[in-house]
Amino acid sequence: ERRAALAASSGPGATSDGHKVPLLANVGGPGDVPAAVEAGAEGVGLFRTEFLFLDDSKNAPSEEKQVDAYRKVLEAFPEGRVVVRVLDAGADKPLDFLTPADEPNPALGVRGLRTLLDHPDVLRTQLTALAKAAEGLPVYLEVMAPMVADRADAKAFADACREAGLRAKFGAMVEIPSAALRARSILQEVEFLSLGTNDLAQYTFAADRQVGAVSRLQDPWQPALLDLVAASADAAKAEGKSCGVCGEAASDPLLACVLTGLGVTSLSMGAASIPYVRTTLSKHTLAQCERAAAAARAADSAEDARAAAQAVLSGE
C-alpha cells in the first residue's frame, strides 16, 4: 500500500491549481533521512534534536558530536530547506541534567526555550555546532525555538543566534496560545513561525498530551485550535513571513487541506504521511481548501469540523 501511495505521488506539494505548499519531513536524526528522501520530502520542517541528548544523562553532547549529526541531515537536502529545532527538554521530554525534578506541573514549568535560557552554555554550544555544520553547504538553514511564549522569548532566542554567528533564518514555534494571539509581536523579532499543534492543543485545552483520558481534547480538528492556527497564519501573512505546521495535524490529509485553506505555508510530518498528503492536496483547489477551512471553523466540535470540511472537499 505504501509503495502504491509513493508511486501515485511525486513532485512538490501543491493544490490542483498550483498553489505551492512545500511538504517537509519531521526527523529525529540522520537515521530518519532515507525515508524522508524516499517519500520525496522537499526538506526537513522539524529536526527534533533531543535524540542527541539521550545517550548521556549527565552531560550535553560535545560540539563535535553535534556538528557531525547536524551535517549528516543538512547534506541530505542540498538546495533544500532544513528547519532545526533547538533542544526541547522538559515535560514529556525530560533530561536529568537540565530538567528540574521537583516541579508540580512539568508541562507548565521550565521546558523548551525556558530551559535553554537558564542554561545559556547548552544553547550556545548547539547554535555554534549548527553554524559549523552548515558551513560551505548550499542548504537553506532555519533554526527555531520551542515553547516561545512572547516577544521577549523570541528576542532572547534571536539574540543568542546572532551572538553565535549563525547565518540562518531564526523562527519561533507557536505552541502556547499566547504566541498565537500575539504572533505579530513575535514576528518583530523572528523571520518565521512554525505551529507545534501537539503542544498548542495541550495548552489550549488544558489537556495533558500524555493523559489518554483527555485525548478528545487533543484532537487537532477542534475549532478553537483552528482559530489559533488562523490567527498565526494571518499574522505571518500581514508581516510577509511564513507560517508552517509541524505537529501531527499536518499528517492528516484532509486537515492538511484545511490548514492550507487557513493560510499555512508549509506542512511537515512523518515521512510515511507525505505521499497521502501530497495526493489529497493535489485534488483540491486553494479556493476549495479555503471554503473547507471556513466550514470547519464554523463548526462547534472536532467531529462536526471534520464532517463539514469533508463535505466541502468532496463537493457535496
Q: Contacts with ligand PEP in 10-69 (CB under 6 A)?
A: 46, 48
Q: Contacts with ligand PEP in 210-269 (CB under 6 A)?
A: 246-247
**DSSP states of 136-202:** T---EEEEEESS--SHHHHHHHHHHHHHTT--SEEEEEE-SHHHHHTHHHHTTT-SEEEE-HHHHHH
**Residue showing cell 495541550:** 202
Q: Has 246 been annotated as catalytic?
A: yes
Q: Which of 243, 246, 257, 289 is catalytic?
A: 246
Encoded one letter per residue, x for contact with ligand PEP by CB under 6 A and - for no contact, window 161-180 reads: --------------x-----
* Nearest CA-CA partner of 86 in 43, 55, 117: 117
197 interface partner picked from Mg ion, ligand PEP, none, CB below 5 to 8 A per type = ligand PEP
Q: Contacts with ligand PEP in 118-147 (CB under 6 A)?
A: none
**Rounded CA Rg of the chain:** 19
Of 34-42, 72-80, 150-158, 198-206, the segment contacting Mg ion by CB under 5 A is 198-206
Of residues 85 and 297, the one with the C-beta less far from Mg ion: 85
> Dihedral sign, CA of 209, 252, 44, 170?
negative
Strands 140-145, 169-174: pairing kind: parallel
CB contact at 8 A, 49 and 26: no
- Residue 3 DSSP symbol: H
Identity of the amino acid at 315: G
Q: Is 3 annotated as a binding residue?
A: no
Of residues 131 and 195, the one with the C-beta less far from Mg ion: 195
* Position among 45, 196, 261, 275 found at the interface with ligand PEP (CB under 6 A): 196
CB contact at 8 A, 44 and 73: yes
Q: Is 26 annotated as a binding residue?
A: no
Instruction: Number of residues interacting with ligand PEP: please give it, by CB under 6 A.
Output: 10
* Calpha distance 155→142 (Å, rounded): 16
Q: Is 118 annotated as a binding residue?
A: no
CA distances from 84 to 35, 192, 235, 264, 278 (A): 18, 13, 22, 19, 23
Encoded one letter per residue, x for contact with Mg ion by CB under 5 A and - for no contact, window 156-195 reads: -------------------x--------------------
Q: Is 199 in the site for ligand PEP (CB under 6 A)?
A: yes
- Residue 82 DSSP symbol: E
Q: How far apart are CB 139 and Mg ion at their closest, in Å? A: 24
48 interface partner picked from ligand PEP, Mg ion, none, CB below 5 to 8 A per type = ligand PEP
Of residues 127 and 201, the one with the C-beta less far from ligand PEP: 201
Q: Is 167 annotated as a binding residue?
A: no
Residues with a known catalytic role: 246
Chain residues binding ligand PEP by CB under 6 A are 46, 48, 88, 175, 196-199, 246-247
